Amino acid sequence: MADAKVIPFDDDRSRARRRPPARSGGEAAVRALPAQQPPSGAAEPAVGSGGGWERRLAGGLAFLRRRVTGEYEVDEFGYDQELTDQVLMSLLRPVYEKYFRVEVKGVENIPKDGGALVVSNHSGTLPLDGLMMQVAVHDHHPAGRHLRLLAADLVFMLPVVNELARKAGHTLACAEDAERLLRAGEIVGVMPEGFKGIGKPFSERYKLQRFGRGGFVSTALRAGVPIVPCSIVGAEEIYPMVGNAKTLARVLGLPYFPLTPTFPWLGPVGALPLPTKWTIQFGEPIPTDGYPLEAAEDPMLMFNLTDQVREQIQHTLYKLLVQRRSVFF
């Protein structure tokens, strides 16, 4: 299989949104085929006529040809936009729509262009909340933005998961990578609670853990981008963590080993998440472009902004919980 073409991240093509850039000549027509729409006023193919199936088949074959021949592009972080749009999002979408039945609010608070830092609570024992937030932005933002998540080191140490995470646009949670993405006009997602959030016991659900030292605020200040708080309700109950096998976790090199009412007692079946009903709400953006350059080095300012973001997320969580009638419906 041929290698994909790697494009420098500051190349304008890396900022393309919902559809990869077309190539010149006949290949551009093949690339554009799956996304073609009939002209205004043109008649749609009749149901059963095979027109729609023919287009999808042609698009699928063209997609496979590009994968085999290496005629696709990835940025220097490994993000493969075409694979994400056509495959990874299609695999996650049924979980998002049918299993967790996610309701999205305030997605228009994410800017339609330019960089922004989305800061969210983190929960659920396994980091499914980040993936669902990614689908929410991808499918519901009016401008078709794509969320680039910052992930922990552990994600990039796991075989298969490492490769899929990079293909989906995730990158290591470090200030340098985050700032480069933000300056390039990307939407970056961060969950400052980290393992403290997803590994907390069920008794502490929806109580935000410490947000670290405010490194995400410093990054947003240096890049001059707004901070968009995000609150996720529903993820806390998918794996109710009632215990932690710490010795086993140390042996396996994991931050924790969860014990839930179903796992590991029911084996692989017990690893299935509970089908809770989710709500993801994006709050009003907090601007940072009005601060001087040296503000990123002011610890008091970082503390105040970090506390403001944390309090806004926590307040929204409580508000959504009061409005929720049922965990599952």
Could you tell me which CATH number the domain at 80-238+274-323 has? Answer: 3.40.1130.10
Q: pLDDT-based confidence at 3, cuts 50/70/90?
A: low
Determine the pLDDT at residue 234. Answer: 96
Beta strands in the chain (DSSP E): 5-7, 73-75, 103-105, 116-120, 147-151, 171-172, 187-190, 227-233, 243-244, 258-259, 279-282
Is 0.75 surpassed by the pTM of this model? yes
Determine the pLDDT at residue 6. Answer: 63
Q: What is the mean pLDDT of residues 70-88?
A: 89
Q: What is the mean pLDDT of residues 290-302?
A: 87
Q: pLDDT-based confidence at 130, cuts 50/70/90?
A: very high
Lowest mean pLDDT among 54-68, 78-92, 210-224: 54-68
User: pLDDT tens digit string along 233-274?
Assistant: 999 999 999 999 999 999 999 999 999 999 999 988 999 999
Determine the pLDDT at residue 68. Answer: 82
N- to C-terminal Cα separation, the chain: 46
Q: pLDDT-based confidence at 52, cuts 50/70/90?
A: confident
pLDDT at 132 > cutoff 70: yes
pLDDT at 23 > cutoff 50: no
Q: pLDDT-based confidence at 9, cuts 50/70/90?
A: low
How far does Cα 113 stand from its chain's mean position? 17
For residue 191, the SS3 value is coil
User: pLDDT tens digit string along 299-314?
Assistant: 889 889 999 999 999 9
Determine contact, residues 105/231, Cβ cutoff 8 Å: no
Rounded distance between C-alpha atoms, residue 270 and residue 119, angstroms: 30
Domain boundaries, the chain: 80-238+274-323, 245-272
Choose between 30 and 307: higher pLDDT.
307
Instruction: Report DSSP letters for 103-136, one per residue.
Output: EEE-GGGS-SSS-EEEEE---SSSSHHHHHHHHH
Residue 243 tokens, joined: 């215990």
Rounded distance between C-alpha atoms, residue 76 and residue 219, angstroms: 20
Angle between helices 215-223 and 175-183 (to 10 degrees): 30
